[in-house]
Amino acid sequence: MSAPLRIAVAGLGTVGGGVLALLAANGDAIAARCGRRISVVAVSARARGKDRGVDLSGVAWHDDPVAMAEQADCDVVVELVGGAEGVARRMVEAAIARGRAVVTANKALLAHSGAALARAAEARGVVLAYEASVAGGIPVIKTLREGLAGNQVRRVYGILNGTCNYILTQMRRTGRPFADVLADAQRLGYAEADPGFDIDGVDAAHKLAVLSAVAFGTETDIAGVHVEGIRHVGALDIGFAGELGYRIKLLGIARMTEHGLEQRVHPCMVPLETPIAHVEDVFNAVVVEGDFVGRVVSEGRGAGAGPTASAVVADLMDIARGRSPMTFGVPASRLVRAQAAPMDRHRGAYYIRLMVRDRPGVIADVTAALRDQSVSLESMLQRGRSPDEGVPVVLTTHETEEASMRRALARIQALDTVLEPPRLIRIEAP
């Protein structure tokens, strides 16, 4: 058996602890599959004395993870600290500069600096691996970069944030409002005390930027991602979605268009007959559409100690076997800086919910605003009669351009019979 692969791990939280536990539990099987052991020789974390359930007595401890990346007697640095800048970036840059391979779960770092880090790693001849950065235990990076490498990817999309999927699932099942379900998610540990990173779509946007780079051979461009979260999705919308044959999911979607690379994260109405409509709770799913393979759907747990550790160790095993795939599937020097497609040029169908005063002529005014922007209605639902209070009116449209839809909504919102800003949710075709 070959000499062990020596690794230094920075960050011993949920994921780091999971990596140590997995290597301890399955070390013999991993060694048999790789032809060599994976040996933890150094670690760095905030609390030195904390019991992590794994014997670290023979492992070198470093208070400074950047110093560990520079000085540890190791082959690979595993970065599980997190963050787009600061310590995480410095330690990854330091490891690459010293000729050490890097394994990371840090989607924010890759979304902001992926191309630069890929170029640095390629120049030093080392691997930069990041399977754990997107969709936890689902091997979507390997699928895109290797299994589907012979295809031209037409579109990649998916449920990339388990917290949002849990909240939307529970709202549909229970009929409870967003705030109540969010509080439950925080109590159960699915959402942070400050949940904005998840529910405002930022986490999903980072993951989408990484997926886009692999799918289309482009530099990561987080600034080019259109981002909306789920705060505005109400139980009323979820109920209407069911009546219309849809479920609401927060999706990240990327595709090449005539206007450039379209990257968007926002709530979507997805038809009930599609597999992704039935991905529930904290599960993630990624769909890849290739010109020869057709549609490939992958589903699994997108976060947590076990699934994420599984992805980290899979990268370590590739390195132990001597595999060195290109970071984003093409040489870093050939990554394209794609033009970002303006969201105004997006074409699709829309769900619109209005709260209006129930007076004669209201619907005529609304449809006139849509007509004047060449927006064609597909269906309309109206519930209740209440001349003194607001009643919901739901409209769905045929495919139209986003700019036209926005102009029509601005005119509709200005009507004195419309009591609150219209709620818009895009309908995503399968």
pLDDT in the model for residue 361: 87
> Average pLDDT of each block of 10 consecutive residues along the chain (430 residues)?
92 92 95 96 84 79 94 96 93 97 97 97 96 94 95 97 96 94 90 91 98 97 97 94 96 96 98 96 96 96 90 97 92 94 96 91 93 95 72 95 97 94 93
Distance between CA 387 and CA 165 in Å, rounded? 37
Region of 201 (left: φ > 0; alpha: ψ -120 to 50; beta: rest) is: left
Q: Is 261 helix (H, G, I), strand (E, B) or coil?
A: strand
* Cα torsion 162, 164, 166, 172: sign: negative
pLDDT in the model for residue 94: 97
pLDDT in the model for residue 302: 85
Distance between CA 249 and CA 161 in Å, rounded? 10
Distance between CA 319 and CA 101 in Å, rounded? 8
Distance between CA 159 and CA 172 in Å, rounded? 16
pLDDT in the model for residue 174: 94
pLDDT in the model for residue 384: 65
pLDDT in the model for residue 193: 84
pLDDT in the model for residue 389: 74
Examine the residue annotation and report whether 249 is marked as an active-site residue of this protein: no
pLDDT in the model for residue 388: 63
Give the residue from 130, 120, 207 showing the smallest Cα distance to 163: 207
User: pLDDT tens for residues 3-44?
Assistant: 999 999 999 988 999 999 999 999 999 999 999 999 999 999
Could you list the beta-strand ranges (E) of 208-340: 225-227, 246-257, 260-271, 283-290, 294-301
pLDDT in the model for residue 387: 60
Selected catalytic residue, list 107, 142, 207, 249: 207
Domains of the chain: 5-133 (3.40.50.720), 141-301 (3.30.360.10), 344-427 (3.30.70.260)
